[in-house]
Amino acid sequence: MRALIPTWDWHTIFVAPWTTDFAIYGWIFLMGFLVCAACGLAGNYLILRRMALVGDAISHSVLPGLAIAFLAANAWRTGMAAEVNGMVDTGGQEPGMIHGFAMFTGAMVAGVVTTLMIEIIHKHTRIKQDAAIGITFSTLFALGVVLISVYADKVDLDADCVLHGEIAFVSIQPFFSLSGVEIAPASVVLMGLVAILTLGLIVVFYKELLVSSFDPGLASSMGIHAGFVHYALMCWLSVIVVSAFEAVGAILVIAMLILPGATASMLSTRFPVVLSLSLLHAAVSSILGLHLAIWLNSSTAGSMVVAGAGLFGLVWLFSPSQGLLRRWVWLRKNKRSALQAESLHPPYGC
């Protein structure tokens, strides 16, 4: 046990990351925050539309999309190379660009395919949506894992990265430079762009998103195509998931998607407030997670999730409207055996 939990050292855990090692941890924190923020913002809509587990499905099924995209990009590049007889510049930005483009296309296609498959299974048979989600994402994920292991030499993805990613890699990445000025590590720039775009899209299409999430019927009467909004959201979700993929992996993404929104919704019922609270949750959980990871020398993304879950736990206890504490006080005040009787309540409301 002592070997497992390193000694508590205030300086290395809390001071050093923000002073001497800021060049490393600053970027890690920023990346973590950007991932949590982009995911958290989009996740609010998933929660609102009761599609939290569709988010889970998409985060798993981008894997085969990515694998196929990498394979296709590689094939295309080697094809190009053969065509111009080895004249292609193998260094520089070119392959990265191709890979990046392929990656996003692959992810978006995977997102749409997942959504379509779930719908087809759900609509054409009597299988319910939950089972349809389960079948779709597990199959696609298995396909992804098989592709990765069969073409291990051609696909630059390893199993660990798929499961929990590694945020710390951002600090050793080459910087993205614009006209000679080095700005930030490439994936931080990318994630930043995605996060800002997410915020921008939410601001611009605030009313369309809200109405179509709340009441698709009303949305269509207002001339908003609810089906289109649905697919657009799924597409954008895939983009977010794929940009976060390297940092947090396929499964922890789901935590980043749901935890901020769920925590925020325990504290407020007004949607704009919920959106800003989920940003706050993203920031706090990435700072706390970072320190936790430094202390325990554990996976950074995993620690951020643990921190986020811890925050949720606190809110669950102390939320003024639905907190356990308030509930307990209420039960005490009423002096009634509600808790005991609740054990009869069919679990999961079924």
Partner 1 sequence: MTSDPNIEAVRSSSGPLSMRWTQGLSDAEIPLEIHDLTVAYHHKPVLYGVDLAIPPGKLIGVIGPNGAGKSTLIKSIMGLLPTDSGWVRLFGKPNKKNLGRVGYVPQRESVDWDFPVNVMDVVMMGRYGKLGLFRRPGKKDRSIAAACLEKVHMMPFADRQIANLSGGQQQRVFLARALAQESDLYLMDEPFAGVDAATESSIIDLLHTLRKEGKTILVVHHDLPTARNYFDMLILLNMRVVDFGPTKEVFTYEKLQKTYGGRLTILSEVADAVRQTKA
Partner 2 sequence: MQVQAGRIGEITEITAWDQALRFFSFKDPALRYALAGAILLGLNCGLLGSFLVVRKLSLVGDTISHAVLPGVAAGFLWNMEKDPLAIFVGATMAGLLGSFMVSRLTATTKLKEDTALGMVLAGFFGLGICLVTMIQRLPTGNKSGIDKFLFGQAASLGGSDIYLMASVAFLTFGLVWIFYKELLTVSFDAGFAHCVKIPVSWFHHGFMLLLAFSVVIALQAVGVVLVSAMLITPAATAYLMTDRLHRMVFFACLAGMLAGAMGAFFSFLGHQLPTGPFMVLSAAALFVFAFFLAPRHGIILRWWARRSRSGRVRRENTLKAVFHALEQDGFRREGVTFMTLSKLRRQTLEETETASQELRQAGFATLPPGEKAVYLTPEGMRRAQTIVRNHRLWELYLTDAANYPPDHVHDDAEEIEHVLGEDLVRQLERQLNFADHDPHGKPIPTPEQMVSLHGQDKSASTGSLGYAKPS
Residues 299-338 that bind partner 1 (CB under 8 A): 330, 334, 336, 338
- Partner whose binding site includes residue 336, from partner 2, partner 1, none (CB under 5 to 8 Å by kind): partner 1
HSE at residue 241, side-chain half, CA atoms within 13 A, is 36
C-alpha 256/C-alpha 113 separation (Å) is 23
User: Exactly one of 11, 124, 126, 332 binds partner 1 (CB under 8 A); which one?
Assistant: 126
Smallest separation, CB 89 to partner 2 (Å): 33
Closest C-alpha to 46, from 274, 319, 320: 274
Cα 88–Cα 79–Cα 93 angle in degrees, nearest 5: 40
Q: Which 247-286 positions form the footprint of partner 2 (CB under 8 A)?
A: 251-252, 254-259, 261-262, 265-266
Q: Which 23-62 positions form the footprint of partner 2 (CB under 8 A)?
A: 47, 50-53, 55-56, 60
Question: What is the DSSP annotation of 58-90?
Answer: HHHHHHHHHHHHHHHHHHHHHHHHHHTTT-S--
Contact 255, 308 (CB under 8 A): yes
DSSP state at residue 292:
H
- Partner whose binding site includes residue 149, from partner 2, partner 1, none (CB under 5 to 8 Å by kind): partner 2
Closest C-alpha to 176, from 161, 164, 193: 193
If the CB atoms of residues 24 and 127 are measured against partner 1, the closer one turns out to be 127
Contact 303, 247 (CB under 8 A): no
Smallest separation, CB 165 to partner 2 (Å): 9
Contact 59, 251 (CB under 8 A): yes
- Partner whose binding site includes residue 37, from partner 1, partner 2, none (CB under 5 to 8 Å by kind): none
Smallest separation, CB 60 to partner 1 (Å): 26
If the CB atoms of residues 60 and 224 are measured against partner 2, the closer one turns out to be 60
| Residue 133 found at the interface with partner 2 (CB under 8 A) | yes
If the CB atoms of residues 49 and 73 are measured against partner 2, the closer one turns out to be 49
- Partner whose binding site includes residue 251, from partner 1, partner 2, none (CB under 5 to 8 Å by kind): partner 2
Question: What is the DSSP annotation of 175-242?
Answer: EEEETTEEEEEHHHHHHHHHHHHHHHHHHHTHHHHHHHHH-HHHHHHTT--HHHHHHHHHHHHHHHHH
Smallest separation, CB 235 to partner 2 (Å): 20
Binding residues for partner 1 (CB under 8 A): 126, 128, 330, 334, 336, 338-342, 344-346
